[in-house]
A and B are shown apart, each in its own frame.
Chain A
Amino acid sequence: MLDSFLSPIIISSTIRLTTPILLIAIGGSFGQKARVLNIGLESFTLISAFFAMFGSYLFESAIIGLLFGVTSGIIASCVFALFVLYFKSNPIITGIALNLSAWGFTTFLLDLNFGVRGVFMSPRIKSFPIIQIPFIKDIPYLGSILSGYNILVYFAFIMVAVMWVVMYKTPFGLRLRGVGIKEVAAQTVGVHTIKYKTIAILLGGLFAGVAGSFLSIGGASMFTENMSDGKGFLALAAIMVGDGNPFLVFLAALVFGYTSALSVNLQALNIPSQIVLAVPYVITILILFSSTMFMKYKYLFKRTNKVKMTS
Chain B
Amino acid sequence: MKKKVTKRISIKNTSVTNYLLAMVLVLIIASILILIQGSNPIEAFRQIIVGSMGSRAAIARSIRWITPVIIASMAAVVAHRSGIINLGIDGQVYVGAFFSALAGAYISLPSVVHIPVAILIGGISGALFAFIPSLLKGILKINEMVVTLMFNYVAILMTEYLTMQIMNLDADIRPEMIATPEILETAKLTQIMPPYQATTGIFIAIVVFVVLFLFYKFTKRGYEWKMIGQNFSFSKYGGIKTLKNYIIIFMTSGFIAGLAGAVEILGPHLRFRSNFSSNIGWDGIMVALIAKDNPKTTFVVAIIWGLIKAGSLAMERTTSVNRILVTLVQALFVLFITVDLRELLVKAKNFISKKTRKEDEVHA
- Residues of A that sit less than 8 Å from B by CB: 39, 83, 87, 89-90, 92-94, 96-101, 103-105, 107-108, 111-112, 117, 230, 233, 236-237, 240, 267, 272-275, 277-278, 281-282, 284-285, 288-289, 292-293, 296
Contact = CB atoms under 8 A, between A and B. Distances in A.
A240 B146 contact: yes
A228 to B, nearest CB: 13
B350 interface: no
Nearest to A276: B157
Determine chain A's interface SS by DSSP, over half rule.
helix
Interface in B120-168: 136, 140-143, 145-147, 149-151, 153-154, 157-158, 160-161, 164-165
A273 B165 CA distance: 12
A273 B171 contact: yes
Contacts of A289: 136, 140, 142
A292 B142 contact: yes
A87 B146 contact: no
Given A98-B331, A108-B322, A285-B150, 6 more contacts: A89-B338, A89-B339, A104-B331, A278-B161, A282-B154, A284-B150
Nearest to B330: A100
Contact of A108 (B87, B154, B157, B325): B325
A100 B286 contact: yes
Contacts of B36: 112
B117 interface: no
B25 interface: no
B276 interface: no
A104 B334 CA distance: 14
Contacts of B289: 93, 96
Nearest to B8: A90
B37 interface: yes
Query: Contact size class for B?
Result: 35 or more
Nearest to B282: A100
B33 A98 contact: no
Contacts of A288: 136, 142-143, 146-147
Contact of A274 (B141, B143, B158): B158
B158 A278 contact: yes
Interface SS of B by simple majority: helix
Contacts of A112: 36-37, 322
A274 B154 CA distance: 9
Given A237-B146, A240-B146, A104 B328 contact: yes
13 contacts: A83-B339, A89-B338, A90-B10, A92-B9, A97-B335, A100-B286, A107-B324, A112-B322, A272-B165, A272-B171, A274-B161, A278-B158, A293-B140
Given A101-B332, A112-B37, A90 B324 contact: no
Contacts of A275: 157, 161
B286 A285 contact: no
B331 A101 contact: yes
B49 interface: no
Nearest to A117: B322
A286 to B, nearest CB: 10
A108 B324 contact: yes
Given A92-B85, A288-B147, A281 B171 contact: no
Nearest to B285: A96
A278 B153 contact: yes
A236 B334 contact: no
Nearest to B10: A90
Contact of A105 (B10, B85, B285, B328): B328
B327 interface: yes
Nearest to A236: B146
A89 B289 CA distance: 12
Most buried by B among A94, A285, A289: A285
A296 B325 contact: no
B11 interface: yes
Contacts of A237: 146, 150
Nearest to A82: B339
Contacts of B10: 90
A229 to B, nearest CB: 9
Contacts of B149: 230, 233
A62 to B, nearest CB: 27
Contact of B338 (A93, A273, A292): A93
Nearest to A230: B153
Nearest to B9: A92
Contacts of A83: 335, 338-339
Given A97-B332, A275-B161, A92 B145 contact: yes
Contacts of B160: 274
A87 B147 contact: no
Interface string B30-70: 00010011000000000000000000000000000000000
Contacts of B327: 100, 103-104
B339 A87 contact: yes
B4 to A, nearest CB: 16
